[in-house]
Structure 1
């Protein structure tokens, strides 16, 4: 089924952010810029701005994307396969990638906010579609 492809793209994004953040934090510990104790207690103020930004973006991958993945779980459970579901899923993935790009590379707050807004709208549209589907199923 089509559903695994958007999930794999999000997984690749999350793994890339995790590895990059890990590398920067390890480098900071090895150079004694920060101690392991600081990391243990999430005291990351001594990290470089880049490491902090990447860490925050990595954390973001466990917010809206979880709602998206849960929505896709229900899409799969209900065996939904129409264009609406596919387009909603890919809009979410593309705007999530765009949001991460603006967050950690371009660092443009206006475009990042716009990408986040489209991202949130796409996941909530997916959920509204699911709710409408569930109501229709229970009424028939």
Structure 2
């Protein structure tokens, strides 16, 4: 397996972020057409947002929380030559959890499912960091 393969999941995560951004734009346009004042988006206050817009906004914000640690661990694995098959597999598993989390959050928003998928992704991310640390400690 080529070490560069550790970066491919990052591209898919970035694509997911772009898709969520487009969805957020769609929701904002829908809200404005339904009567939300466009001035709200200039000041970020002064109106009650519809639930679907709050949900989309929260999910977009989520893309800049745990995934940031994901990008960092992938880059560190690449530059330290720690990108082995288990790490690459874990990276893809994390991406799958984030895609499933997105689908749940932006559709049914069933909290139990969302929580379970989130916790699985969290565990995978912690494992990625642990795997990288083990690589660094055994190869330094």
- Shared fold (TM-score greater than 0.5)? yes
Partner of 1:11: 14
After superposing on structure 2, the runs of 4+ consecutive aligned residues of structure 1 that deviate more than 6 Å are none
Q: Distance between the aligned counterparts of 2:100 and 2:46, measured in 1?
A: 25
Match of 1:53 among 52, 55, 71: 55
- Could you say which residue in structure 2 is the equivalent of 1:66? 68
Q: Which residue of 1 aligns with 2:118?
A: 116
- The normalised TM-score by structure 2 is 0.88
Q: Which position in structure 2 is the counterpart of 1:84?
A: 86
Alignment size in residue pairs: 137
Does the Cα contact within 8 Å between 1:95 and 1:116 map onto a contact in 2? yes
Task: Report the aligned-residue RMSD.
Answer: 1.7
Q: What is the CA–CA distance in structure 1 between the aligned matches of 2:105 and 2:33, rounded to whole Å?
A: 26
Higher relative contact order (CA 8 A, sep 6+): 2
Contact (CA 8 Å) 2:7, 2:74: kept in 1 or not? Answer: no
Partner SS for 2:83: coil
The gaps in structure 1 that reach 5 residues or longer are none
Match of 1:29 among 23, 29, 32: 32
Cα deviation, residue 30, structure 1: 4.9
Structure 1 residue 43 corresponds to structure 2 residue 48: no
Provide structure 2 residue ranges, at least 5 long, that are not aligned to the other structure: none
Per-residue CA deviations over 1:66-123 (Å, capped at 9, x if unaligned) read: 0000000101101233221111101100001111111111211001000000011101
Alpha-carbon shift at residue 47 of structure 1 (Å): 2.4
Q: CA deviation at 1:44?
A: 7.7
1:129 aligned partner: 131
